[in-house]
Structure 1
Amino acid sequence: MTTPRLPRQACPGLHTDTETEDSVQALRRILAATDSAAQGGQVELRGMRLAAALHIDTLEVMKVRREPAARETADSIDSAVETLAAQRVAFGAIPCIRRPRFVTSIRYGTPHKAIVERAHEMNADLTLVAAHGEGLMADLRTRRDNSELLRRTRCPVVLVNASASFPYRRILIPTDFSEGSMAAARVALMLAPAAQITFLHVFQLDDEDLMRELGVTADVIASERLRCARSARQALDTFMAGVGVGSRIATCVVERGQPVRVIQRYAEQLGADLIAIGRGNRSRLHELFLGSVAQRLVDQSTSDLLVASQVAGDDWDDRPAA
């Protein structure tokens, strides 16, 4: 018995170019933050490329130091300052139509707390952090910090996992049709106005195992799978109507299976350099599970991962200016 799978289809844009361009202008402030444990370099470069391409107002590159300021040596402080100065020079070499304000800063404390606080202070529209740390212990600390960051922040976060040498060219947007998924899709479209977009919905037939145990025939199960697939495709069309893809052509896929595995497979097949997922305002257990799923996706792919919440989608244009 074959798995029902609706073929890939090109979904025409359902909103005007003007609407899409207005949405891009809403991305005004980016915070690129790393600590001593994280793999830096690509985070800052990704922030610089986004700042140059999207004509934002402010890019802040922040170094978080886990050691208290009183315990910092003069050499370590000088090293951090020199690194930030070099990044300022590097940003100056990137062509920009309208050069944004470039800010560098150093903060002390627990990374996820410092990042959440600074993102809130500057009303950041996007936070960039490293997906991995340098070495085993540093990587474990970075994973823990990222999990807490995703749980606590109200700002969309990109876990930088891929090379930032090029703009985002292929984006995979898995959706469960939630408001969080809608927010993630909108932010992803803002980040890469020229990228190829694939929308993916993965469904599972409820009680399929129970149906087999009760002796339901294979034909009936296959019919139910097809019904679910068609219903999901209708929901995907409605979802896209709410996202605002402009005149861009997006590929739409509906497939049955285990969500994380299917997402990983499509990310590899497409060569996606960004995966965008959403989260809602749910329990701490759900948020911890989200952190685990996010880490699995960055561990088993070469893509950056964008995580956005419904808060970002609802309040995107209502926050005060910095």
Structure 2
Amino acid sequence: MHPTAPVIAATDFSPQARQAAERAARLAHENGAPLALVHVLPGDTLEALRAWLGSDTAPERAMHDEARAALAIQAADLKARRHVEPAVVCRSGPVLDEILREAEARDASLLVLGARGSGFLRRLVLGSTAERLMRRSAKPLLVVRQAPHEPYRRVLVAVDFSPWSKAAVALAHRVAPHAQLVLMAAFEVPFGEKLRYAGVDDATVERYREAARQEATRRVHALAEDCGLRAAQWTPRVLEGDASLRIVEQEAELGCDLVVLGKHGRSASVDLLLGSTTRHVLAEGSADVLVSTVRD
């Protein structure tokens, strides 16, 4: 997050979207950044309304007026309680396109939305639109699932030593500068079970496992040093097994309130964001999820 680049919160006025706007306001205030609240009236819904009502535009105008009034109320509430003065944006059209257009136009440092919405944002996070948003957005994306009662305290950063990992660590440190970072790497012994079927003895497999653990541990420490983290700012977590399972387990075990993932894995074909890892973390975890879209 650049300290002066705007934070954008997409809202459909659901309780979950309000939580997301609260978190966005808190982050904007902490970083001295502008905040914009964006609501989009779905273009397909308006088209259906026009098809039913013909040339009568009064209902459509009323929907816009209602949305602007709701935005003004939410902005005034955030100004009073979070000491930020949000800009308000009400648009209509393809929801995904309009949100991304606004983020690009304002050169946003962060795009924030709730994990569950009552309308279009529910589809954004839970359906294929979410995947398109995350694939297309060049902006970091924060999915808020918890009420923002306090700054983030403990942040789990999933790293795989790809070019995306350093940027994810840096983003985590900017969004949560006072939090303890947990750098978590999951490793697996290549062909571990197949080695046993092939007659490789357990002692040899265990040597492979320990070598993989030591190499992952070395690389986690090297990454932290490369990112300029001091010893007091972070702790390592190196575990064997599937990354998506380990992330959720460690989030709960360590009491993490934010999980940070890189947009891509080791190659273009290994996409943490759009693959099973992020879907599993969003479905099974409880912490907020921050997706870094920048590679080192």
CA contact (8 A) 1:37 1:141 kept: no
The structural deviation recorded for 1:75 is 3.5
Structure 1 residues not aligned, in runs of 5+: 1-23, 315-322
Structure with more contact order per residue of length (Cα contacts < 8 Å, sep ≥ 6): 1
Percent identity of equivalent pairs: 25
Q: TM-score, normalised by structure 2?
A: 0.86
Structure 2 residues not aligned, in runs of 5+: 50-58
The structural deviation recorded for 1:147 is 1.2
Alignment of 1:63 onto 2:39: yes
Aligned positions of 1:30-41 closer than 5 A: 30-35=7-12, 39-41=16-18
Alignment of 1:84 onto 2:84: no
CA contact (8 A) 2:37 2:75 kept: no
1:12 corresponds to which residue?
Answer: none
Alignment of 1:173 onto 2:157: yes
Distance 1:248 1:84 in 2: 41
Equivalent of 2:207 in 193, 204, 223: 223
The structural deviation recorded for 1:47 is 0.7
- CA RMSD in angstroms comes to 2.6
Distance 1:36 1:162 in 2: 16
CA contact (8 A) 2:263 2:273 kept: no
Q: 1:77 to 1:267 in 2, by over 3 A?
A: same
Equivalent of 1:51 in 17, 28, 43: 28
CA contact (8 A) 2:26 2:82 kept: no
Q: Which amino acid aligns with 2:81?
A: I
Q: Which runs of 4+ in 1 moved over 6 A?
A: none
Equivalent of 2:115 in 128, 131, 136: 131
Q: 1:85 to 1:32 in 2, by over 3 A?
A: same
Secondary structure, counterpart of 1:290 in structure 2? coil
Aligned positions of 1:88-103 closer than 5 A: 88-94=75-81, 96=83, 99=84, 102-103=86-87
Q: How many residues align?
A: 283
Distance 1:102 1:34 in 2: 13
1:299 corresponds to which residue?
Answer: 283
Q: TM-score, normalised by structure 1?
A: 0.79
1:259 corresponds to which residue?
Answer: 243
Deviations 1:107-162 (A, max 9, x none): 22222222222111111111112222338x97445422221111111111011122
The structural deviation recorded for 1:265 is 0.2
Distance 1:170 1:251 in 2: 10
